[in-house]
Amino acid sequence: MSGALKEDGRRGVTILGSTGSIGCNTVELVEARPDLYRIEALTAHSRVEILAGQARRLKPRLAVVADESAYGALKDALAGTGIAVAAGPAAVVEAAQLPADWVMASIVGAAGLAPTLAAVRRGAVVGLANKECLVCAGALMTAEVAAHGATLLPVDSEHSAIFQVLDATQPQAVEKIVLTASGGPFRDRTLAEMEGMTPEQAVAHPNWSMGAKISVDSASMMNKGLELIEAHHLFAMPEERIDIVVHPQSVIHSMVSYVDGSVLAQLGSPDMRTPIAYALGWPKRIFAPAPRLDLAAIGQLTFQAPDSERFPALRLARTALQTGGSAPTVLNAANEVAVQAFLARRIGFLDIARVVEETLETVEPVTPSSIDDVLEQDLRARRCADAIIARRGKR
């Protein structure tokens, strides 16, 4: 990021998915430091009111909605501001192509792949919250990062923690990465209890305030499975050297074990403004208004082994990573479809993992050699998962 400052000394920032949980936290941090940052572009799917409010305050060059039917509303909301307005998935990619120094990739799901890739391809520094794009296209994505001299800065709290304590100068000294998992809202529930859990119960995360999709992923622990694959790609760490430990307090955000027996961890309150600020300020640290950690008040930090009987998503993700090729792409796409079906009350909570497993059994893994191949496999998996859900509904 050195040399990435514009003439006025401020870093140009684009936020892809500015209206979401990560996006709004990023906006808050950027807004607090007009001396350091100016906004280049903001994008959303369809929540025009939030996007237009952010745009009026931050005055980007461009504001984009992915949903074309929201174009008129955005145009009206920003009339007379001089801010350019556009709509559609291609316009989101164009927003990512504007010459911002730093891009927050915080669109949810594989929909974030093309715009994130567009930022990578122009060599930007990318704060990566969107884990799905590394899960569905990890090897191709990291190759693009290397080819274009881009920088990926992890924003996911666990990966930010690892990034902060990993000694990249001595990769041979690293024994293991240990991802912490809260266990989600159903950590101590039986399978019989989980069967009847509602979307409202699933999105009620005990520690973090997040968007609906990642909250359901945390409840099924698919989030930790996706994070396992994300860590594998971000830190070039083999699957068997990435452990998962359940830590209900979400205070230790992850750890790195070294060959001398030392374990280094990053701690903090469960507040995404800390990892976002780390990526936004990198290579320096900037202030974040997250609650300060009071260990005496917390009293105890506890740990337990993950249970892949009650949380089969953990097993499915590990197996998909071992299988390789398009298996993680299929896992991710089927999970996105199943989570949406659960949120729409078309399937039950435990059906999410069942749909993912059946899709993985049905769609033959291939070795994608391009992003187009990945997108093709993503589509195949979505169609397969849709068909499985439709069949389940008819029983």
Ligand X SMILES: CC(=O)[C@@H](O)[C@H](O)COP(=O)(O)O
Q: Strands 252-258 and 174-181, how do they pair?
A: antiparallel
Residue 239 is encoded by which pair of tokens?
A: 């699957």
**Nearer of residues 138 and 268 to ligand X, judged by Cβ:** 268
Q: Which of residues 205-224 bind ligand X (CB under 6 A)?
A: 208, 214, 218, 223-224
Confirm whether residue 25 is marked as ligand binding. no
224 is in an annotated binding site: yes
The answer to whether the beta carbons of residues 120 and 144 sit under 8 Å apart is: yes
By CB under 6 A, residue 266 contacts ligand X: no
- Among positions 213-242, residues that touch ligand NDP (CB under 6 A) are 213-214
Q: Which stretch binds ligand NDP (CB under 6 A): 104-112, 302-310, 342-350, 379-387?
A: 104-112
Q: CA gyration radius for the chain?
A: 20
- In the complex, what is the shortest distance from the CB of residue 2 to ligand NDP, in angstroms, rounded to a whole number? 27
User: Please, are residues 229 and 134 in contact by the beta-carbon 8 Å criterion?
Assistant: yes
Quote the tokens at residue 22.
Answer: 């990560």
Residue 130 assigned ligand-binding role: yes
Choose the contact partner of 306 out of Mn ion, ligand X, ligand NDP, none; CB within 5 to 8 A by kind.
Answer: none
Under the binding rule (CB under 6 A), the answer on residue 336 touching ligand NDP is no
Nearer to ligand NDP, 12 or 20 (CB): 20
**Chosen residue from 110, 133, 272, 288 binding ligand X by CB under 6 A:** 272
Question: What would the two tokens of residue 37 be?
Answer: 């940052």
Distance CA 131, CA 155 (A): 9
Pairing of strands 11-16, 37-44: parallel
Shortest Å distance, C-beta 275 to ligand X: 7
CB of 223 to ligand X, least distance (A): 4
Residue 230 engages Mn ion in binding (rule: CB under 5 A)? no
CB of 305 to ligand NDP, least distance (A): 23
Q: Is 217 in the site for Mn ion (CB under 5 A)?
A: no
How many residues are present in the chain?
Answer: 395
**Residue 23 or 306 with smaller CB distance to ligand NDP:** 23
Instruction: Give the residue, chosen from 101, 156, 230, 357, that forms a contact with Mn ion under the rule CB under 5 A.
Output: 156
Place of tokens 């892809």: 16
Q: Does the annotation place 67 within a ligand binding site?
A: no
Report if residue 351 touches Mn ion, rule: CB under 5 A. Answer: no
- Measured from the Cβ of residue 202, the count of other Cβ atoms closer than 10 Å reads 24
Q: For residue 274, give every residue at least 6 positions away whose Cβ sits within 8 Å of its Cβ, in sequence order, or none.
A: 157, 160, 268, 288, 290
Q: Applying CB under 6 A, what is the total number of residues that bind ligand NDP?
A: 28
What 3-state DSSP class applies to 38?
strand
What is the C-alpha to C-alpha distance for residues 123 and 136, in angstroms, rounded to an integer? Answer: 21
Q: CB within 8 A of 41, min separation 6: which ones?
A: 14, 15, 60, 61, 62, 63, 64, 95, 96, 98, 100
Whole-angstrom Cα distance, residue 258 to residue 245? 17
Q: From Mn ion, ligand X, ligand NDP, none, which one binds at residue 184 (CB under 5 to 8 Å depending on kind)?
A: ligand X
Instruction: Count CA atoms within 13 Å of residue 240 on its CB side.
Output: 2
Among 377, 45, 393, smallest CA distance to 212 is for 45
Binding site feature residues for 1-deoxy-D-xylulose 5-phosphate: 131, 157-158, 182, 205, 218, 223-224, 227
- Contacts with ligand NDP, residue ranges (CB under 6 A): 17-23, 44-47, 66, 92, 106-108, 111, 129-132, 156, 208, 210-211, 213-214, 272
Please give the annotated binding residues for Mn(2+), written as ranges.
156, 158, 227
- Interface residues with ligand X (CB under 6 A) are 156-158, 181-182, 184, 208, 214, 218, 223-224, 272
Residues that constitute the known binding site for NADPH: 19-22, 130, 132, 211
